[in-house]
Structure 1
Amino acid sequence: MLARKTLLGAAWTVSSRLTARAIDFVTLLVLARILTPADFGLTALAATVTIIADMVLEVPTLQALTRLPSVTKSHLDTAFTLSALRGIALTLVLLLVAWPFAQIYQDSRLASLIIVSAIGPLARSLYSPGMVEHTRSLAFRPVFVAEIFGKLAAAIIAATAVRLGAGYWAIVASGIAASLAATSMSYLLAPYRPNLSLSKFREFSAFLGWLSGAQIIIALSWQFDRILLGYSSSKATLGQYTIASDLSVMPTQSLIGPAMQPLMAALSQINQNQDRLRHAYSKASRLTMSLAAPACIGMSLTADLIAEVLLGPQWGEAGLYLRWLALSTVLSAFYQPLHSLALATNRTHLVFRLTLVELCAKIVLMCFGFYFYSLAGVVAARAAVSFIMFVLSLIGARQLVGTSVASEAANLWPIAAACAVMTLLVMGLRYKLPEIHLAAFFELGVISLFGASVYVGALYGFGVRVSSRAGAV
């Protein structure tokens, strides 16, 4: 019963994220055809400080509520109060840092962009805590509805704004509209009457401590490359890199990320059974890599076509960056199931330590790479950090559930072998296709279908089978 509910929950969250990403992608294509790389670079720089402040002050109340044995109205009130206080603090911080940040990067437009962008995180802070009841019961359809409603609102606002000549403000308006619409819908799907109270704060404090610390580090880690490039490169270069970076993580964010929430909820219910927990984690890590690896490698193999067909001629550099950034994303996906496992077993201190190592590695390697090899060095540093996190994830899994490196290698080798076969055959096809003189759009479609077919066939040839019990937890 738990396995079925977990799979259904994962299906809803993956469907939600895929649909949301599809809407985001269409919105991006519309904006990329009208706006310039410099416009995207400017808004990316403003978004960097907003995202860092948003994550530094993150209060993961919904995750804490999910971990509690039972949830009462007092728990919901405490969660809402903590989130509301966080929203107020976030707004004040952004108001204070907007002008100094604009002065540091010598662009007065950044101040107004940061101040207006603060509306989005503030709106998300007021999201109905009652939605946690759906999460706890592994019923993710309401979450799907709220997110898609927000994305549709964002797409409509962005398209309207850019057509009216709003320029880069269309990107900001899109983010604000998504937050306001999703929060409004959450109260329709999970009615809750706000009440300010901290009566259950003690039950939140232990969980929030290490995790909140980890959020601070994650925020700096995720945005460090953009901070570095924003200060040392042109807005156009930053825009090209930002678009390539966002595209490179789409497979993992769309396919893997959404499945982690129901996975954590399911693992929380079996965290007293070590054997069952280890078995469930191994299946989750294998599924994660079976989806992430071919998607990221395939994106790398067709990066130039993706940039030409989807973004347009002015985004040629983005295709070059995408080729290598997509490869650097492959191994980093392996950390996501471990993150869910650590939360489910209340080992948030492990999350904190791993994210701290990741941040330190990024600061050292990216600064070193940028100093000697410019932007290419930053991309190489991201690949090196992904490998470090992959190794640390193997060690972390052994500490939490006792999996060995040998067992994980046996678990993952068919995926690596199938990806190798796919890569060789796709490269061969790409070598021959120019002789046929296909349009770039059709060439991208042919290669994508061919690569997917080869990968699935290779998996089957290496003995991987999909059974009715494949997702059992």
Structure 2
Amino acid sequence: MSAKLINSALLSSGAQFLNKLLGLISTLILARILTPEDFALIALVSITLYFFDVLSNAGSEQYLIQKTRVTFNDLNTAWSLDVLIKSIIFILVVIFAHPIAMFMEQPEISLAIIVASSVLIIQACKPPQLILLKRQLNYALLFKLSLLQKITSFMVVIPSALYLKNFWAFIIADIVATAIYVGMAYMVIGKRPKFRFTEVKNQWLFSKWLLAKSVLGYMRSQVDTIIVSKHFSSTILGNYHIARDISMMPGHYLLAPAIEPLLASFSQLKTKTKKFFQHFCNVTLVISLLSGPIAVFILFNADLIITVLLGKQWLIAQGILQVFAFLFLYWVYWLLVEQALVGQGKVKLLFWFDFISLALTIFCLLVLLSQRQQIVEVAVLRVVTGIFLTFFALMYLLKNQVTELLKVIAFISWPLLVSLMVALILQELPLLDNAVADLLLKGASYFTLLGGLFFLLLACLKHISVEHKLVYEFIKMKLRLP
């Protein structure tokens, strides 16, 4: 299973890496066409759309992936339930779009919220057979469809931005790209689902807690942006949003797709406790070898990253991005813990984790803002609360697995410490006169030196502990070593 899991992770993360490359290019261009205020407005539209998307999530994908056996009735019921709920939610969006826009003190986004929400219905119509591909760890078709969607979005958003000069370019590109994705999926798969609700009761028993957990998870992840929009100007909100978006790029587009196949693998091992936690430890090490170096690189080079990607008009984002290097880091581990708990069927527990996290985050942010703190202090508090709660969830998951807990702590710590050591050494590198050249030189030096150190350490560990076999095989496959 390890080889298939690695191939699935590589395909999934490879697709998202190419997607991110196109997204990065479009961000470079759009940041010079549009203003921070435009990014602030699209952030508010996205927050609203994401909330209604979460509210309409029937948990079909997670339900079908974790089932031992999936029938055609399961597929049709999941698809039908998704279409029905998202259609109802779309009607609610139309009704409440204006009050939401007024609450956010941005009445001009009312129509934008309605138009953008049409994506919900389009997404709901995608063939449920795509979920089976994820369940079978078969990501080849998903890779192609995802890449096609991003290429379409890129080809639409840039001309739209040049012509319209406002945030509507994002909305138009999203609708067109989603429609192309769904249309091509049906052309390739060929089978059309039917409206059926025969298995709706069984799915709801699983999904009710997942839906509640998703709503709370959304509020937990977006509450800081909502609070910032109420206490700071549109310019600061735009900088906050873009810094957060850039910091999460490696997570959303590289590591999250690699973690996605783990839900199926965790579900297959949920009755084998020892193998389950051994697998969790191995995956933790793989993720640490990727996330630790990326977070440290962002921390030490936030100013260069913002200057190169966005330009000098985004100076406020530099300090925020430096803090959010750790937002990305803890989020990756939270996602891994979440997948492990879902694989064990502990969805209700995740709901309570999100509830506690949301309450603590809101309380801390409101207390901080009552003292009129700056935006960087808000970012610091957001990260600190997230790290604390992620560590608490990890401790709970491994509460009866002392050996595995110690391994996980070690696997998280040593790649991070080695990365910090290398970054500090490379601080002595002489700077060039060009920001792009500086970033490329630092990036190449940092990741080359770090990659060599990691491989030497893992090669030594391979002879000490069989726990590192998966990691060693993963790197050997990438480097084509004997």
Q: How does 1:333-372 map to 2 (within 5 A)?
A: 333-372=332-371
In structure 1, the residue matched to 2:387 is: 387
Once the 2 structures are TM-superposed, how far is the Cα of residue 7 of structure 1 from its aligned partner?
0.9
Once the 2 structures are TM-superposed, how far is the Cα of residue 394 of structure 1 from its aligned partner?
2.3
In structure 2, the residue matched to 1:455 is: 450
- 2:22–2:154 contact (8 Å) kept in structure 1: yes
Q: Which amino acid aligns with 2:257?
A: P
- 1:278–1:403 contact (8 Å) kept in structure 2: no
Change (3 A) 1:205 1:402: farther
- 1:414–1:459 contact (8 Å) kept in structure 2: no
- 1:426–1:447 contact (8 Å) kept in structure 2: yes
In structure 1, the residue matched to 2:436 is: 441
SS of 1:46 mapped into structure 2: helix
Q: How does 1:251-330 map to 2 (within 5 A)?
A: 251-330=250-329
Once the 2 structures are TM-superposed, how far is the Cα of residue 320 of structure 1 from its aligned partner?
2.2
Q: Which amino acid aligns with 1:420?
A: L
Q: How does 1:157-236 map to 2 (within 5 A)?
A: 157-236=156-235
Once the 2 structures are TM-superposed, how far is the Cα of residue 213 of structure 1 from its aligned partner?
1.0
In structure 2, the residue matched to 1:415 is: 415
| d(CA) in 2 for partners of 1:453, 1:188 | 43
Once the 2 structures are TM-superposed, how far is the Cα of residue 374 of structure 1 from its aligned partner?
3.0
In structure 2, the residue matched to 1:378 is: 378
In structure 2, the residue matched to 1:72 is: 71
Once the 2 structures are TM-superposed, how far is the Cα of residue 277 of structure 1 from its aligned partner?
0.7
In structure 1, the residue matched to 2:102 is: 103
- 2:56–2:82 contact (8 Å) kept in structure 1: no
Once the 2 structures are TM-superposed, how far is the Cα of residue 402 of structure 1 from its aligned partner?
6.1
Change (3 A) 1:116 1:403: farther
CA deviation profile, 1:240-264 (whole Å, cap 9, x unmatched): 1111000001112222200222111
| d(CA) in 1 for partners of 2:217, 2:247 | 18
- 1:278–1:402 contact (8 Å) kept in structure 2: no
Once the 2 structures are TM-superposed, how far is the Cα of residue 426 of structure 1 from its aligned partner?
2.8
- 2:293–2:416 contact (8 Å) kept in structure 1: no
| d(CA) in 2 for partners of 1:219, 1:463 | 37
Change (3 A) 1:53 1:413: same
Once the 2 structures are TM-superposed, how far is the Cα of residue 461 of structure 1 from its aligned partner?
5.5
- 1:101–1:110 contact (8 Å) kept in structure 2: no
TM superposition score normalised by structure 1: 0.93
CA deviation profile, 1:434-453 (whole Å, cap 9, x unmatched): 3xx43111000011111112
- 2:426–2:446 contact (8 Å) kept in structure 1: yes
Change (3 A) 1:233 1:80: same
Greater shift, 460-469 or 81-90, is seen at: 460-469
In structure 1, the residue matched to 2:119 is: 120
| d(CA) in 2 for partners of 1:401, 1:275 | 9
Once the 2 structures are TM-superposed, how far is the Cα of residue 190 of structure 1 from its aligned partner?
2.8
| d(CA) in 2 for partners of 1:12, 1:458 | 26
Q: Which amino acid aligns with 1:234?
A: S
Change (3 A) 1:92 1:323: same
Q: Which amino acid aligns with 1:199?
A: T
Change (3 A) 1:348 1:29: same
Q: Which amino acid aligns with 2:177?
A: A
Q: Which runs of 5+ in 1 are unaligned?
A: none
| d(CA) in 2 for partners of 1:145, 1:465 | 38
Q: Which amino acid aligns with 1:313?
A: K
In structure 1, the residue matched to 2:16 is: 17
- 1:157–1:173 contact (8 Å) kept in structure 2: yes
- 2:296–2:416 contact (8 Å) kept in structure 1: no
Once the 2 structures are TM-superposed, how far is the Cα of residue 405 of structure 1 from its aligned partner?
3.6
| d(CA) in 2 for partners of 1:73, 1:191 | 15
Q: Which amino acid aligns with 2:84?
A: L
| d(CA) in 2 for partners of 1:400, 1:147 | 40
Once the 2 structures are TM-superposed, how far is the Cα of residue 357 of structure 1 from its aligned partner?
2.1
| d(CA) in 2 for partners of 1:390, 1:376 | 21
In structure 2, the residue matched to 1:247 is: 246
| d(CA) in 1 for partners of 2:444, 2:17 | 18
- 2:66–2:263 contact (8 Å) kept in structure 1: no
Change (3 A) 1:191 1:133: farther
Greater shift, 158-167 or 256-265, is seen at: 158-167
Once the 2 structures are TM-superposed, how far is the Cα of residue 166 of structure 1 from its aligned partner?
4.7
SS of 2:427 mapped into structure 1: helix
SS of 1:302 mapped into structure 2: helix
Once the 2 structures are TM-superposed, how far is the Cα of residue 29 of structure 1 from its aligned partner?
1.6
Change (3 A) 1:308 1:9: same
Change (3 A) 1:187 1:401: farther
Change (3 A) 1:465 1:170: farther
| d(CA) in 2 for partners of 1:420, 1:270 | 35
- 2:27–2:309 contact (8 Å) kept in structure 1: no
| d(CA) in 1 for partners of 2:402, 2:207 | 26
TM superposition score normalised by structure 2: 0.92
| d(CA) in 2 for partners of 1:393, 1:53 | 27
Q: Which amino acid aligns with 2:114?
A: I
> Between the two proteins, what is the percent identity of the paired residues?
21
Q: Which runs of 5+ in 2 are unaligned?
A: 463-467, 475-482
Change (3 A) 1:231 1:412: closer
- 1:366–1:377 contact (8 Å) kept in structure 2: no
Q: Which amino acid aligns with 1:304?
A: D
| d(CA) in 1 for partners of 2:390, 2:289 | 15
Greater shift, 249-258 or 457-466, is seen at: 457-466
CA deviation profile, 1:218-248 (whole Å, cap 9, x unmatched): 1111211111111222212111111100000
Change (3 A) 1:24 1:109: same
Cα RMSD (Å): 2.0
In structure 1, the residue matched to 2:427 is: 427
| d(CA) in 2 for partners of 1:194, 1:460 | 48
| d(CA) in 1 for partners of 2:317, 2:294 | 18
